[in-house]
Every structure is written in C-alpha cells, then in structure tokens.
Amino acid sequence: MADPAGCCRPCATCLLCLYSCQWITAKKEKRKGLRTTKCDCSWFFFLFFVFLFTLVWLYFAIIILNDFHNFNEFIFKQRKLWLDWSLVLLIATAMLITYSAVLLVLALCLQLCGQPLKLHWLHKTLLILTALVVAAAFTGLGIKWAEEWRSAHISLQATGPFLHIGIVWGMTLLAWPLASFIYRTRNTGLKAFLLLVYCVVMIGLYLAPLAITSPCIMEENQLPPKPALVGHRGAPMLAPENTLMSLHKAVDCDVQVFETDVMVSADGVPFLMHDEELTRTTNVQAVFPERAALNSTAFNWTDLQQLDAGSWFLERRPFPTVLSLSDGDRYQATKQRIPSLEQVLEAAKQSNISIMFDLRPENHSDYQSFVNATLEVILQSGIPLQQVLWLPDGFREQVKQQAPGVQQVYGRKRLQNETEPLLHVNLPYQDMSSEEIRQYRQDNISVNLYVVNQPWLFSVLWCSGVSSVTTNACQVLKEMKHPIWLLPSSTYLMIWIVADCTSFLAILWAFLLLKKCSWRRQTVESETDVLLTKINSLMQE
C-alpha cells in the first residue's frame, strides 16, 4: 500500500499513531498485512454515529440553556447546594464532542491518505462510554424534563434553515473520503450500499426545506409589533429576585409588568417570596437556624423583616451577570429586605408599572384568608386596578366581585364552551404553537409566554405575534430592535436552490477528480507490476 501523492510519510505515521495508539512507521515493509477489515469499517461507522449522537446532544444542551435556571433551583431544593450546572453541562458536552470529532477527522484523513483504520481498543472503550453517557443524558431529559423536547421542536423554527445548509455542506465534504474509499475498495456490494445510502440522504436533504417552517420566513411589513417585556420576579439577572431593587431594575429595562409571587405571613401580611422555604433567597439559616425548614408562611412579619434578602445574590451568583455589577449595585443588594405587597404596589404605582402575581401556596388550608388579605392590601393601596393582573385560580369569582377592575389572567387555553371570553392568558412558551398564537392575536386575546431568556426564542415568538413574554433577561431583550433573522420566502427559496446546486456540483467534482486520481494510480501500479515482472524474468534467466 504505497503512500498516495500529497500524503507525506511523517504525516501518515503521525495519523496512525494518534488513531491506533501505536507507533507504526510509514515504511511499506512494516505495514504489510495491515488492511482495513470489515470490523474496522464497523468501528468507523460506530465512531460516525457517536459523533452525530453527541452533536445532537450539544444542540439540545444549547437549547435548554434558556430554562437551566429552573434546573439549578430544583437541585438546590433537593440538595441545598447551589451551583451553575449549565457550566458543568457545557464543559462535559464540549469534551465529548471534541473527542469524537478529533477521532473522526483522524479517520477521514487516514482514509484520504490510504492508511488502514485500526482503531485502538482504548478509543473503542471511550467511544462506548461516550455513547452511554449521551444516551443516559437523553433518557434523563425525557424522564425529568420532558417539556424540553417541545423546546427543541420550537428551536428548529429558529435554526432549521441554517441547520439545513450546514448539514448539506457537511455531507458534501463527506463526499471526498467516501469517493476515496469507493475507488479503493474491491467490494462491489459495499460500494453499491454506501452510494445508495449517500444518495438517499442527499436527496432527502435537498428536499428538506419542503418540511421546514418558521414564523420568521415572512416579509418585513408583515412583522408583528415587538412583544412587551414582563420581568420574572423583577430583573433577577441584575438584582436579588422579588425585591424592590429588582423592581426598579426592571423599570430601567422598560419592563411593562412586574411578575412576582405573593405569600401571606402568619400575622396576615402579604409579602413577596417564590419558594415555600426561605433558605435559597435569605439568610434564615443564620438568623433562625431551628426554623429554617419551616414554610415561609409560618413566620410573622416582624421575623421576616430581620432577614437579609440580598446578600445571597452576591454569594451564590445565580447568573453570570452578577460579576459585572457596579460597586453601588453590590452595596444596594446587601441592603435588600423581603418587601411587603403594600410596598411593592406603592413602588409600582409610582413607576407606572403593572404587577402580575401568583398567590402561594395554593394548597394551604387558610388560602381563602390569604386571598382576603391580598385583596384588602390591593384595594387600600390606591393603585389603579387595571394595573393589577390576577393569576390565582382559587376564589377567582370572589375577586371579580370585590375588585372588578382587576385584570384576570388565566393559566390555561380557552375552552370550546367558554362562558366568559378570556382576555389574557399566561402559559409556558412550550404550550402554544405559532398557529395558536396567531389565532389568539386575531381574536384580541393577550398571550404572555414564560420564561423566555434567549434571543433566538424571543425572535421566534416575536415573529409569531405573541403579546408579551416573561423573562429573566430583560436587559438583553430590551436591546433587540429586530428579530435575529427575517427572510422573505422568495429569498429563502433562492438560498435553498443555490445551496443545493453548489453542493451537487461539489460532490460531482469530488467523485470525478478522485476517479481521475484513482485511474492514474492504477496505471502507475499496472506499469510497476509489468516492470517488476520483467525484472523477475531477467533474474530467473
């Protein structure tokens, strides 16, 4: 097996060393008998599969970053340990994809150089482990976080056109090592099988845009207005959540609605708190260690006012943005206390911002008294009732009677036999399709979707026509003046045709060029064989 032109012996030796984990020199006499067997081909296909499998997981890992703060909170509730697990996820995924990608590149280079694909047992073991780890990650995602499958489906509306072009050109580049292998192997059945599979895949990719849909494929003049921003617990990337500082930061981000959670203390004072326990967002373990595990509603207002509701934000750094806070913001964060609903309503009234809230916990035995206490504070605050958006379903009819001006927001889709028309709905972004959003918009129903942090997701919902989104990243979405991309259908059609045609020509060129090189190599080998035969005959004479 002579070294082909363009592949120097040191390079071939180095590639063999990295791929086979043994020093095999490029001298012909030391490579006698080293051929790529069927088993070696099987391991190459397994390597290719692991690379694609890991690449798909990398895509999922990037998509679920939008919701990863929820996972961090879940782990804290279970283990009382705060860590930004998204960094762990990305680092581990990057290591797996880098390893499989390097091995795949080595294998393709070896094939182009005409070298045997003798994968070392250590690489085989690590590839199997990689496949098992990624499979376990997908299984865990499906069991514990099934809604993320719907997030991935939505993400294809943002990435589909570009993924299509990327995959087409990735498969186009694969034509070179494939053609090299086909012209070198003598197995006609294997040749036919590989060519058939490759052609079927490429035809499917060329026609894939027929199934690709995106709300952002539209004319510029059809783009709906930019969705309003709803601050999820305020501006939690810039200030401790559910505090007055977080509300003011949200106002600075042009947020129109402050979304929060209300609980009622043991002595009947409504206050802002999301978790049923105080351990994550206060220093309750230091002030009341023996009562730290109690429900938030078990504390009276005097006790709650003794708690620091801001220092945890600087210590645990729930978002990377904490590192970029100014000294003034850091000092202000340390002075935050748990605010009462009365204080928040007063701040909202002064800032001319609406407030939307859940009343927790819904299963509490005194929930009706919680509703009464909350309504009393709202009615006494003097805030215009249209600035209050009521989310809780419990005792909703009572709220309508006592405070008819309060806007009722429903956490469900409308029903077919709806007795009273819905005007506002508040749902997870995975629960509504683009078609449903458009229909609700046509019917003058305000749709708010949560929690939307990534620009790609905001762009898709913007193009779909959603009324507003609840977000942790108001400072990011505020700066977006336009969706990330917007393509007229005619422009996308042109890109599709050009990409497919250039890909087809590149594949045709690769096969023709390597066919010519193969013919030249066969001619040289034939002449060499004839010369060796003559020399052998002369020596025998």
Q: Phi and psi (nearest 5°) for 248?
A: -65, -35
Does one domain contain both 370 and 232? yes
Query: Which element (helix H / strand E) includes 426?
Result: strand 424-428
Q: Where are the beta strands (DSSP E) in 57-169?
A: none
Last residue in a domain, options 438, 456, 478: 478
Residues 130 and 278 in one domain: no
For the domain that residue 430 is a member of, what is the CATH number?
A: 3.20.20.190
Helix then strand then coil, % of the chain, to nearest 5: 60, 10, 30
Asked if residue 510 and residue 449 are part of one domain, the reply reads no
Look up residue 4 and give its two tokens. Answer: 């082909």
269 and 357: one domain? yes
Asked whether residue 33 is domain-assigned, the answer is yes
Does residue 221 lie in a domain region? no
Q: Nearest to residue 34, comparing CAs of 116, 114, 136?
A: 116
Domain-embedded: residue 297: yes
Residues 94 and 205 in one domain: yes
Which of 141, 209, 153 is CA-nearest to residue 503?
Answer: 209
422 and 328, same domain (yes or no): yes
Sole residue written with tokens 């977006």: 480
pLDDT at residue 2 in the model: 41
Total structural domains in the chain? 2
Which runs of consecutive H residues, i.e. helices, occur in 209-290? 244-252, 284-287
Q: Which two tokens stand for residue 114?
A: 């005409």
Of 450, 478, 506, at which residue does a domain stop?
Answer: 478
The CA dihedral of 57, 60, 66, 68, to the nearest 10 degrees, is -40
Q: For residues 365 and 430, state if they share a domain.
A: yes
Q: Are residues 494 and 472 in the same domain?
A: no
- Bridge partners of 428, per DSSP, are 450
pLDDT of residue 418: 79
Is residue 447, in this structure, part of any structural domain at all? Answer: yes
Q: What is the pLDDT of residue 196?
A: 95
| Other residues' Cβ atoms within 10 Å of the Cβ of residue 136 | 10
Q: What are phi and psi of 228, to 5 degrees?
A: -70, 155
User: Does 541 reside within a domain?
Assistant: no
E-strand spans in 205-341? 228-232, 257-264, 270-272
C-beta of residue 441 within 8 angstroms of C-beta of residue 465: yes
Residues 292 and 376 occupy one common structural domain: yes
Q: What is the pLDDT of residue 216?
A: 96
| Domain carrying residue 296 | 228-478
- Please report, in tens digits, the pLDDT of each residue of the chain (541 residues total): 344 444 567 777 788 888 887 665 544 434 444 677 888 889 999 999 999 999 999 999 999 999 999 999 989 988 888 988 999 999 999 999 999 999 999 998 888 777 888 899 999 999 999 999 999 999 999 888 889 999 999 999 999 999 999 999 999 999 998 988 888 777 888 889 999 999 999 999 999 999 999 999 999 999 999 999 999 999 999 999 999 999 999 999 999 999 999 999 999 999 999 999 999 999 999 999 999 999 999 999 999 999 999 999 999 999 999 999 999 999 999 999 999 999 999 999 999 999 999 999 999 999 999 999 999 999 999 999 999 999 999 899 999 999 999 999 999 999 888 778 889 999 999 999 999 999 999 999 999 999 999 999 999 999 999 999 999 999 999 999 999 999 999 999 999 999 999 999 999 999 999 888 777 665 655 555 555 565 666 666 5
Q: Do residues 298 and 349 both lie within one domain?
A: yes
Using DSSP, state whether 27 is helix, strand or coil.
coil
Give the Cα separation of 460 and 457 in Å (integer). Answer: 5
Q: Model-level pTM?
A: 0.89
What's the pLDDT at 28?
A: 46
In a domain, 3, yes or no: no
Task: Tell me which of 451, 478, 505 is where a domain ends.
Answer: 478
Residue 65 lies in a domain: yes
Q: How far lies 287's CA from each of 290, 294, 300, 364, in Å?
A: 9, 13, 14, 25
Tell me, yes or no, whether 474 and 532 share the same domain.
Answer: no
Whether 438 and 510 map to the same domain: the answer is no
